[in-house]
Structure 1
Amino acid sequence: MTSYNPKDWIRFIFFISKADTIRKLFPIMILIGIYSGIIGYLELVYWHLPENSYVKNISVMHSMLGFVISLLLAYRTNTAYDRWWEGRKMWGALVNSSRNLALKLSAILTTESDRSFFRKIIPGYASILQKHLDDSDTAKQLFDDVDLEIDHHKHKPNQLAKMLFQKVNDLYVTKKITGDQLIIINNELQSFTDICGACERIKNTPIPYSYSAFIKKFIFIYVLTLPFAYVFILGYYVIPVVVFIFYVLASLELIAEEIEDPFGTDANDLPTKKIAENIKKHVEEII
């Protein structure tokens, strides 16, 4: 995730970061500019269309559809941001659950071997979840002093959650914790799986294909018809105008595409790896 100062207008305007959509759109922007120039040449020079040509009235369609496309893009970006923000809330909840569980176990446990187990496994769950959502491989042996074999053919976060529950149950069976204490820490243990499920729901349920495809086609057709009408008003200045309109509309769609899946390594994705590292640091301080 890109760190920035929201008040630094100069940097925003005059510098192009790796997250700027112009990097991805630049090739097609060039093509749109060439296309607009060709349409302008055909209408003004080759066909010699008069000022009262019906082609000029195509701008009426753009006026009518401009409001529609703005609503579609507003809904698209809002929906994508809701997914991004929900993912951030889930990871915030994971931070709180990890801290609360560590605080409770720190007060309950007296044996160093038990404390060491949870000192490694609690932040280990966040690390495994981060890699699980990023679809990257997880090391079979996470810790030097904890025998943790991860089966890559099974659900990795569930394996760690099962180990946590099994360890807590063993503590209860051996009378190291009471039934009341088991109930006290149960909410945090259960929340790990709830958070994992919520994150998987965000990642595995994209925006419906038909909706995303329709917006792209709508933008493309809308932009391709712009030069036909506005070349009468702007002449060859229609080239930068159409390119800029395409840049604005397509950028909104690109931004929505990127943030609708907040778990990854893109510039605007959530810093899940950093959050997992902070959880490890905080848990080790507590236990």
Structure 2
Amino acid sequence: MIIYEAKDWWGALKHFHTSFSIRVLLRRVGLVSLYGILLTLIDQHVIDVNLPFDGTLFSLLGITLSLLLVFRTNTAYDRFWEGRRQWGSLVNYSRNLAVLLDALLPDDATNNRIYFAQTLSNFALALKGHLRTGVDFSELDDPGDGELQALTQYAHVPSRIAALLLRRTQTLRQDQIVNDADLITIRLYHQALLDITGACERIKRTPIPFSYSFFIKLFITVYVLLIPFVLVETYGYFAIVATTLAAYALIGIEMIGDEIEEPFGLDCNDLPLNQIAQTIRRNMHEILGVTPSVTVAPKAEADYIKVN
């Protein structure tokens, strides 16, 4: 995720060329600009390429395209914001569960405190990897008894970690450290962790329908290709500038939608899942009063790109 100062207008603009998305956009706009230059030169020096297009009709097509892009962008941002809400809920539920366990566990129950701190941390880190390119087991803490090694055998690691959490709470009940009422409360928070996992998987695995995305891309392509034909007769060489600006706006908005509709990836504007998961890890150990066994892996991807 790009971190920037919203009020620093020029500070943001000076990093215009540093974004990967912007570089891809500029290449596409450059191709459209070359197309506009070629068509304009042909019109001015070879043959009249003006099409019998009514300007009013072309304006109506532009309005229709604008409405489609607004809906497309809003839909993509809804998915982005829903993903952020789910991870915000994961932070809250993890903290609430850790606070509850801290109150229930005796101060000298060091093994249990370490286990829950590590396992809750592992859940967030495993979910991050599960939603991205796969779980990096080197990031996870080892609670002992071969649990970390056993996790490598499971396809859905977050669910297995959740199962281990529930098994441990049942052990606390058998040892009479918690009672039935406490166990019911713990299960509510435990269920919330799996609900968040399912919601994130729904966002990741249910993209915007292909037919809708294809139609908008095709509409933008045809519209941009027709602009020089409509404008070159009236505006001459200025049609090149108009075509370039229109391509930049339309293609750029569509690319924004493509980038943010899947918020759990590694694009520069995706959610900073690594930092959120590491925040949960620090909070779990702090609340339960134990020291993290290992430091944050230095190879963990950087989710934040600061613009200043």
Q: Which of 56, 78, 83 in structure 1 is aligned with 2:79? A: 83
Q: Is the 8 A contact 1:36 1:238 kept in 2?
A: yes
**Counterpart for residue 96 of structure 1:** 92
Q: Count the aligned residue pairs.
A: 283
Q: Does 1:122 find its partner at 2:123?
A: no
Show the counterpart of 1:201: 202
CA distance in 1, matches of 2:71, 2:245: 21
CA distance in 2, matches of 1:248, 1:17: 16
Cα distance in 1 between the residues matched to 2:58 and 2:12: 30
Trace 1:180-219 onto structure 2 (pairs within 5 A).
180-219=181-220
The RMSD of aligned alpha carbons is: 1.7
Letter in 1 for 2:121: P
Amino acid at match of 1:76: R
Checking the alignment, whether the CA contact within 8 Å between 1:140 and 1:151 is kept in structure 2 is: no
The answer as to 2:57 corresponding to 1:61 is yes
Q: What is the CA distance between 1:48 and its match in structure 2?
A: 4.3
Distance 1:88 1:271 in 2: 9
Secondary structure at 2:7 match in 1: coil
Distance 1:227 1:141, change over 3 A: closer
Query: What is the aligned partner in structure 1 of residue 163 from structure 2?
Result: 162
- Contact 1:141-1:150 within 8 A present in 2 as well: no
Change (3 A) 1:283 1:137: closer
Contact 2:204 2:264 in 1 (8 A): yes
1:144 Cα deviation from its structure 2 partner: 4.2
In the aligned structure 1, how far is the partner of 2:263 from the partner of 2:34? 35
* Pairs within 5 Å for 1:1-287: 1-16=1-16, 18-19=18-19, 21-48=21-48, 55=51, 57-110=53-106, 111-139=109-137, 142-146=140-144, 147-148=146-147, 149-287=150-288
Give the C-alpha shift of residue 21 in structure 1: 3.7
Assess, with a 3 A threshold, how the Cα gap between structure 1 residues 120 and 57 changes in structure 2: closer, same or farther: same
Q: Identity of counterpart residues, as a percentage? A: 39
Query: Cα–Cα, structure 1 residues 129 and 71, in superposed 2: closer, same or farther, change >3 Å?
Result: same
State the shift of 1:232 in Å: 1.4
Q: TM-score, normalising length from structure 1?
A: 0.93
**Per-residue CA shift, 1:214-270, capped at 9, x if unaligned?**
000000000000001101122112112101110110111100011000002211111
* 1:102, distance to aligned residue in structure 2 (A): 0.4
Matches of 2:139 and 2:37, distance apart in 1 = 60
Structure 1 residues 79-88 or 240-249, which shifts more?
A: 240-249
Matched residue type, 2:72:
R
- CA change 1:82–1:36 in 2 (3 A) is same
How far apart are 1:153 and its partner, in Å? 4.4
1:137 Cα offset (Å): 3.6
Structure-2 change in CA distance of 1:65 and 1:178 (3 Å) = same
Q: Do 2:260 and 2:269's aligned partners in 1 also have CA atoms closer than 8 Å?
A: yes
Deviates more, 1:106-115 or 1:196-205: 106-115
- Structure-2-length-normalised TM-score: 0.87
Preserved contact between residue 4 and residue 12 of structure 2 (Cα < 8 Å): no
Read off the aligned partner of 1:72 and give its amino acid letter: L
* CA–CA separation in structure 2 for the residues paired with 1:193 and 1:64: 47
Going from structure 1 to structure 2, the CA distance change for 1:128 and 1:137 (only over 3 Å counts) comes to closer
Contiguous gaps of at least 5 residues in structure 2: 289-308
8 Å CA contact 1:72, 1:215 repeated in 2: yes
Cα offsets for 1:36-81 (capped at 9, x unmatched) = 12221222221247xxx6x253433321111100110000000000
